[in-house]
Amino acid sequence: MKPDPDLHDLLRTLRVWSPEVTTLPALDPDAAPADPLPLFTTWFAEAVAAGQPEPHTMSLATSDADGLPDVRTVMLHGADADGWAFASHSGSAKGRQLAARPYAALHFYWPALGRQIRLRGPVESAPSPEAQADLHARSTGALAAALTGRQSEVLGSVAELERTSREAWERAQREPDAPAPTWTLYRLRPDEAEFFQGDAERRHVRLKYRRTDTGWLRELLWP
């Protein structure tokens, strides 16, 4: 039987931003736009062009009833002047946490370009018709997953999941406009947005935007 690898030995073999797979562009803070949204849009397009796998996935951090942090990966549904959008069931763990504490953080990491983006701010739910329209514009699989429901509840067995999912797929194919009443579209409207550009000599550039009463304030942070 092959022995388990030693975690610390494995860690020592890994590199960060290997030049064979990573390009580290420059970030000129003086040339950055006054608003974080245009810079996000540009960086997102550049991540796609660089071949970054799944650049539309992001970490979502919320707080539970005791104020303790909770985090998971979700998918970006859009970003505009109203905020950065994602979706989930209102009865899921994150849905319940956002109902009780409607403030969250998002984190994007695009290692192909050595870039991170961090956003923090209040979260609001979009009207139900907008959430349903967003869901029905997505794939059959997305609708089937939404119709399966019961997200974050205790599951009795894998067989139960397979049976319920199969029924949901059949309904999604039969009724492409089937409603998923608990499906909710959320928008995070950032109070803060940080753009991190990695540097090979560890002189990373961190550009932070803070929302004020008169607009966005830009400042640099030590790496």
**pLDDT for the residue 1:** 54
Rounded (5°) CA angle 139-145-151: 145
**pLDDT for the residue 150:** 87
Let me know: does 105 contact 61? Beta carbons within 8 Å. Answer: yes
> What SS3 class is residue 116?
strand
Let me know: does 74 contact 92? Beta carbons within 8 Å. Answer: no
Domain ranges (residues) in the chain: 26-132+182-221
CA-to-CA distance for 52 and 131, rounded, in angstroms?
A: 28
Assign domain 26-132+182-221 to a CATH class: mainly beta
Beta-carbon contacts of 190 under 8 Å, excluding residues fewer than 6 positions away, are: 36, 83, 84, 119, 120, 121, 209, 211
Residues of the chain with confidence (pLDDT) below 50:
none
- Phi, psi (5° rounding) for residue 128? -55, -45
Q: What is the pTM of this model?
A: 0.92
Kind plus residue range of the DSSP H or E element containing 46: helix 36-49
CA-to-CA distance for 193 and 70, rounded, in angstroms?
A: 20
Pairing of strands 103-110, 78-80: unpaired
